[in-house]
A and B are shown apart, each in its own frame.
Chain A
Amino acid sequence: MSLPLTKNRHLHRFHGGLHLPDHKLESTLLTILDVGVPPLLTLPLQQHIGHIAEPVVEVGDQVMKGQLIARAEGFVSAPLHAPSSGRIQAIEERPFPHPSGLPTRAILIETDGLDEWGPLPEPLPDFEQTNRDLLLERIRWAGIVGLGGATFPTSVKLSPGKNKKIHTLILNGAECEPYITCDDMLMREQAERIITGLAVIRHILSPNECLIGIEDNKPEAIAAMREALKAAELEATEIIEIPTKYPSGGEKQLIYILTGEEVPSQHIPADIGIVCHNVGTAAAVADAVIDGKPLLSRTLTLGGDALKQAQNVHSPLGASIHWLIEQIGGYKTQAKRLVMGGPMMGVPLRNDDYPIVKGSNCLLALSPEQAPPEEPARPCIRCGECARVCPVELLPQQLYWHTRAKDFDEVQSYDLFDCIECGCCAYVCPSYIPLVQYYRYAKSEIWSQEEEKKKADLARQRHEARQARLARLEHERKARLRKKKEALEKRGAGKADDPKKAAIQAALKRVEARKAAQTATAAPNGDST
């Protein structure tokens, strides 16, 4: 029996957070544009958290749309499929939208414009009658990862382990970062697909209840989702309007808002019986299970006032940003900053020659007026605004001081690793201190120190093992020698039974006897002379 859809639920408020100008109207004026297929697709092999995928095609191969081009390596990994038909042009290092700025190996497909599908696995519309492992296998095959931007392989998240009972499934439609509207538009236009995906995930996890959290600045999306949910008649599923406040779409923040439960530090939500998926991920799950289609494309927002017109596009993975921006009318002014992701947490890009990957929810082209001024940081006046807005209730300025002093032990004692890098602290800082940059620096320093320590430990262990082995060998050699010597001594003492020796001794005796006999006979002879 289904619960009323508008049950009054007590929502919880997380500490801090910001009410940001949301800039969401600009990109929601037009419907999602299907951009078609670009002449070239660049598909980095690592578009997910986990092990890099391994190519299964070679340069020059013809591929069909949906054909596997790189397989998952290991449990936490995701495969890649050709988003369109064409020829493999190259497999080489290409720039990749990642904070490190380092390039990664990618497969380049020169498309043939036919967009011809290859063979696909059998659709599973009766998923409720399908074995769960088969569904998980299908989701894994499809290469689905968290499309909210975290890109953690979805099949892994859906396999929490036998001993972890999931009681609550949460669908994240909060979309709290300014400018980004791809989930909003997806919910407005494809709510049934999301609800179908939710039904599949729910069948796999069999939770007690499902909660769909959407910020209250998306009334159209909420209405569309309510409609779709009503039509689907899903039990114990509720759409919950949450107050708009950044970062309510952070996984741990959303779980707290909806359930009042805090995911313990260093733990994942499954540890407290909760699993949370993005609405876009649910839609991709529906495609994979109901239609047998792998993840080949995604919806993303192209925004920022350097563009002529902001809009959401449905784009094949691997399309270049440059090409996409051309499809929606191009630039209005030169972009001062290009950002993959939202303005609060996105990755800055050097140019628009980067490809769209599975985690790309937004591309921002900020004009010089919109981009923050590049002023040198001023001294911290300890005003405490940063601590007031921190959603994790850290003390950002203490982290900052200790990072500056390179006192990384102290930084960790102020729980650096609980920082979600949401950017609230840096946003409000009146001294323009790039706080998040300091925390990233501290984290990477600590990681590399730990790596060094691991290496040193390993080297020490190896050295110690070698010393021990040498000592053991020496000991064994000595023991062997000693044994031999002892054996020899023993033999030398009581060895009458050695036939050779006995023979020699017998021979010696015989010789002596003969000599004695000869002397005896010779003497009388001599005497006789």
Chain B
Amino acid sequence: MTTLVSSPHDWGRHRVQQVMLQVLLALTPGIAAMFWYFGWGVLINIVIATASALGAEALMLRLRERPLQPAITDFSAVVTAVLFALSVPPTLPWWMTVLGMLFAIVIVKQLYGGLGYNPFNPAMAAYVLLLISYPVAMTHWLPPSVLSKETIDLFDSLRIIFGGTPPASGWDAITMATPLDQMRNGLGQDMMISEIRESPVWGDFGAKGWEWVANWYALGGLWLLYKRVIGWRIPVAMIAGLVVIAALFSLGNPESYPHPLFHVFSGGIVLGAFFIATDPVTASTTPRGQLIYGFLIGVLVYVIRTWGGYPDGVAFAVLLMNMAAPTIDYYTRPRVFGHREDEHE
């Protein structure tokens, strides 16, 4: 007996699972760089986040009376967990990571219907929840190892994350403001950018260490582009949006508005452009829509960084544009073959 199934009778052998695994694989250079510069905390956060995301996913699938398979093995929760873990400081108390993942999976993802139905990026929603609720813990960044005098080993990291206690030398000895914070504080004290950049922390574009992490993320992102897991439009448009607006201000007043490349290589731009804004579920899906979506994220990041209340704005910008994505899609439908350009307007 043969099976009666509608055409096509051949298939491309892609799977959701495979897409998610490719994203994780593309993140490994970035993860390795983060580990190199910021130590064990990065890996510990990934482990805690992954375990709690999978736990929350399983719990919710059971409560929603959905089969665990294949949802639990599609790796979508793992991707959310890793992206979240890479966005938070490597000193974050363990329970905050757990809280963030519970929020991301239970409320932002599963309560909206699970994979494919969530309007907001779960990792970014969790990040924003923690940033608003625990601003101090969320800004306790370590300096990259190239600048650090203290070395923090595995046990120090475990003590910090699980014990909530700083090493003997105290928080101030081990933490350091992020480059975006330093720039922001300096500008806040009416310093010139050339003065701010006299500090030894700065590298070619951003700050030492940080800009190299961005390069490794970009490497993974380019591989995703090459493998066609993501399209070029969102990352290119997002970076273009940021560069264009930053260039406009920077050219006008280079001592008060940092160089566009400083913006690109600081904070979450590269990670965001290749791995977060490209989350297909929450992004725009039409070709023109993706250009608009990405460009406006870039512009919003600049606006939030320059005039907003937070040092970085990638998470906020992505969530704001998630809201706009359905509308953008509606107005940017491509012209269908054999139809006139103006037919749907």
Contact = CB atoms under 8 A, between A and B. Distances in A.
**Chain A partners chain B:** yes
Interface of A: 14-15, 18, 20, 99, 101, 178, 252, 256, 262-265, 267, 335-339, 341, 343-351, 364, 366, 370-374, 378-385, 387-388, 391-395, 397-398, 413-415, 418, 421, 423, 426-432, 434, 436-437, 440
Given A264-B339, A374-B3, 6 more contacts: A393-B334, A394-B336, A428-B12, A430-B16, A430-B18, A432-B11
B337 A391 contact: yes
B178 to A, nearest CB: 32
A99 to B, nearest CB: 8
Contact of A430 (B14, B283, B333): B14
A398 to B, nearest CB: 8
Interface in B1-48: 1-12, 14-16, 18-19
B245 interface: no
Contact of B285 (A364, A382, A427, A430): A382
Contact of A379 (B12, B14, B115, B329): B115
Q: Is the interface of B mostly helix, strand, loop or mixed?
A: loop
B339 A415 contact: yes
A391 B3 CA distance: 28
B100 to A, nearest CB: 22
- For B5, B19, B344, the residue with the greatest tally of chain A CB atoms inside 10 Å of its CB is B5
A343 B280 contact: no
Contact of B337 (A15, A388, A421): A15
B19 A381 contact: yes
Nearest to B290: A384
Given A264-B338, A418-B337, A378 B2 contact: no
Contact of B286 (A344, A348, A395): A395
Contacts of A18: 12
A290 B75 CA distance: 65
Given A348-B4, A351-B2, A415 B9 contact: no
A440 B115 CA distance: 26
Given A372-B10, A387-B285, A395 B3 contact: no
- For A374, A413, A427, the residue with the greatest tally of chain B CB atoms inside 10 Å of its CB is A427
B338 A267 contact: yes
A290 to B, nearest CB: 36
Interface string B52-76: 0000000000000000001000101
Q: Is the interface of A mostly helix, strand, loop or mixed?
A: loop
B89 interface: no
A328 to B, nearest CB: 19
B290 to A, nearest CB: 8
Nearest to A428: B12
B337 A393 contact: yes
B280 A384 contact: yes
Contacts of A335: 2
B286 A427 contact: no
6 closest A-B pairs by CB:
A423-B8, A379-B116, A437-B6, A265-B338, A343-B10, A372-B11
A101 B4 contact: yes
A378 B9 contact: no
B336 A378 contact: no
A265 B336 contact: yes
A149 to B, nearest CB: 12
13 contacts: A101-B4, A264-B339, A265-B339, A344-B10, A348-B2, A349-B4, A351-B1, A372-B11, A381-B280, A385-B14, A418-B336, A423-B8, A432-B15
Contacts of B76: 381
- For B1, B16, B281, B287, the residue with the greatest tally of chain A CB atoms inside 10 Å of its CB is B16
Contacts of A395: 285-286, 333-334
Contacts of B4: 101, 348-350
B186 interface: no
B4 to A, nearest CB: 5
Given A395-B286, A428-B14, A348 B5 contact: yes
A337 B10 contact: no
Contacts of B333: 395, 414
Given A265-B336, A381-B280, A391-B337, A371 B7 contact: no
B15 to A, nearest CB: 5
B116 to A, nearest CB: 4
A252 B339 CA distance: 13
Nearest to B230: A383
Contact of A434 (B6, B286, B339): B6
A382 B117 CA distance: 9
A57 to B, nearest CB: 33
B337 A350 contact: no
B280 to A, nearest CB: 4
Nearest to A266: B338
B114 interface: yes
B285 A384 contact: yes
Contacts of A392: 336-338
Contact of A427 (B8, B337, B344): B8
A426 B313 CA distance: 38
Contact of B280 (A101, A178, A383): A383
Given A395-B334, A430-B15, A430-B16, A379 B9 contact: no
A14 B337 contact: yes
Contact of B11 (A350, A427, A440): A427
A165 to B, nearest CB: 21
Contacts of A263: 338
B231 interface: yes
A364 B7 CA distance: 12
B70 A378 contact: yes
A263 B337 CA distance: 8
A348 B9 contact: yes
B337 A348 contact: no
A418 B7 contact: no
B285 to A, nearest CB: 5
